[in-house]
A and B are shown apart, each in its own frame.
Chain A
Amino acid sequence: MTDPRQAVPRQPVADDVLVRARGLVKTFGEFRAVDGIDVTVHRGEAFGFLGPNGAGKSSTMRMVGAVSPVSGGELRIFGLDPATDGPAIRARLGVVPQADHLDEELTVEENLWIYGRYFGLSGRQVRERARELLDFAQLTERARHKVDSLSGGMKRRLTIARSLINSPEVLLLDEPTTGLDPQARHILWDRLFRLKRQGVTLVLTTHYMDEAEQLCDRLVVMDHGRIVAEGSPRNLISAHSTREVLELRFDLDDHRDRLDDVDGVGERVEVLPDRLLVYVDDGDAAMSAIAGRGIRPLSSLVRRSTLEDVFLHLTGRSLID
């Protein structure tokens, strides 16, 4: 495996804060898509924005990517102001946008070459780098194919390879695996792990809690343009949820009718359209307690708490509707 970053030696930087936002706001007309968020991303970490559709994740990413003017508050990337140093900031960033935006008129390798030229790299540099990146993205066999012949997962890997052409210090990934099948997602996660190990700072958005748990050292939970919680996946779960969850399904239309049955069993109960979630520290004990009351659910399941539960607790809604 070649190291796609080996071409660029890491420069020592006194300040290790790469992204710093304070009271950051993005408005579209009257609408506040991002409503005063504070974010700090340190060198080498994997930082996530977890939130449902319309939370303001992409709007935030575009501001950090220095392609969307800040409407209010303060934003610094590498200590630079995107309003005045956009090109200098973008030269050090890699961007994987929510939609691939690949150049469909070019072949796979040409996509890498030309994109590298946009950074002012020479023809020789981009050819060498493209060879490493095609290998990294497992697309060497497809180098001369047109982009439209690739599968969704391959296109996503090509977009990631393309974003690495300038050996970026920070990689911005907007929903890197949305729309991919499970196998393609796992391949992609594996590539992102490798990058993380090589020291690339990852900033990603997702509405998959498993993705956030897998990839992020630290994350913020966003809803309606605001940050509702912040921390490592583990800390968020221990701060906002119990250790385990007991899921109960009954044979009825409205699960609210069974709320009394589970009263006092756990710390908290959430009602979903098709089940009850009982938040407990010991799931098996809770299950016996319920059986002891003579209650027979259609099905029951004990599992560990996830970020989905954190989100549900904080906002009263599911991440994916």
Chain B
Amino acid sequence: MTAPTAPAATRRRAAVLPIPAGAGLARMVVLRNITSFRHGWIALVTGFLEPVFYLFSLGVGVGALVPHVTTDRGSVVTYAAFVAPALLAASAMNGAVYDSTFNVFFKMKYAKLYDAMLATPLGPRDIAVGEVSWSLLRGGLYSAAFLLVALLAGVVHSWSALLALPAAVFIGFAFAAVGTFATTFMRSWVDFDYITLAIQPMFLFSTTFFPLSTFPTPLQWVVQATPLYHGVALERALMLGEVDASVLWHVAYLLALGILGVVGASRRIERLLLR
């Protein structure tokens, strides 16, 4: 028996997922972004603050009016403990979306950074994978900072909360990939209103601030189709210690969405830039 040769393996993979070429150097794209952010780390701080403000205004403020909430899985918890996991998921989303939309658009349309990259051995796949990795790293960083704040605020109650961080990486992945893909369709800054239009209702209604059972049944289906719902459900299960098999379903949803986004983004980058 001989091991399959590398080119054969690549060809087989390419047949399953029609993804454009890369040189396996996506990490260099991440390295470029790290180098760039060393000059502008302040931008990292601001994006992380929003969910923290929500935690204190809603968790503590509204929490004083609504002492207890019954989750969709039946536990009774304080309001702060209820919203904290959702805000953690939103942190991951924010970090990932911000980078994969505004920053990617600027680099593609104005800085022509990807044109420079494509003149090297890097291919569209390296760019897509690299940018998505960086965005999800940023989402992960926000989540980690938020988790720390939540821990200090005393709203974390289960040891399974340790898994909240790896889970946030899946959320970051899904949003970073879809964000990058969506950005390749943007024609001007005006189009970014569509992103806000998608993110804001998702942030408000994906069982972030009240349980799914509050919605009438048809609306429940709509909510359950959104990626943030799966992120919130995942984080809530882990942070409140309500872990069961459904956790895997949420992870699978986020993973599948992320993979579709990466493939779509690399194909779009190829179409737009390699003319």
Contacts and interface: CB of A to CB of B under 8 A. Distances in A.
B112 A86 contact: no
Contacts of A114: 28, 31-32, 35
Given A68-B275, A105-B39, A114-B31, A97 B115 contact: yes
B113 interface: yes
A105 B23 contact: no
A180 interface: no
A69 B122 CA distance: 16
A118 B121 contact: yes
Name A's interface SS: loop
Contact of A87 (B23, B112, B273): B23
B116 A119 contact: no
B113 A103 contact: yes
B36 A105 contact: yes
A101 B112 contact: yes
Contacts of A87: 21, 23, 121-123
B204 interface: no
Q: Which of B115, B119, B274 has the most CB of A within 10 A?
A: B119
Given A103-B32, A114-B31, A117-B31, A90 B119 contact: yes
Contacts of B122: 87, 118
Interface string A72-100: 00000000000000111011010101010
Contacts of A93: 119
Contact of B119 (A65, A102, A110, A113): A65
A90 B117 CA distance: 11
B69 to A, nearest CB: 44
Contacts of A314: none
B2 interface: no
Nearest to B112: A101
A106 interface: yes
Nearest to B274: A67
B188 interface: no
Contacts of A113: 35
Contact of A118 (B40, B111, B120): B120
Interface of A: 28, 65, 67-69, 86-88, 90-91, 93, 95, 97, 99, 101-106, 110, 113-115, 117-120, 166
25 contacts: A86-B21, A86-B123, A87-B21, A90-B120, A91-B121, A95-B119, A97-B115, A97-B116, A97-B119, A101-B111, A101-B115, A101-B116, A103-B32, A103-B111, A105-B36, A105-B40, A105-B111, A106-B39, A113-B35, A114-B35, A117-B28, A117-B32, A118-B122, A119-B121, A120-B23
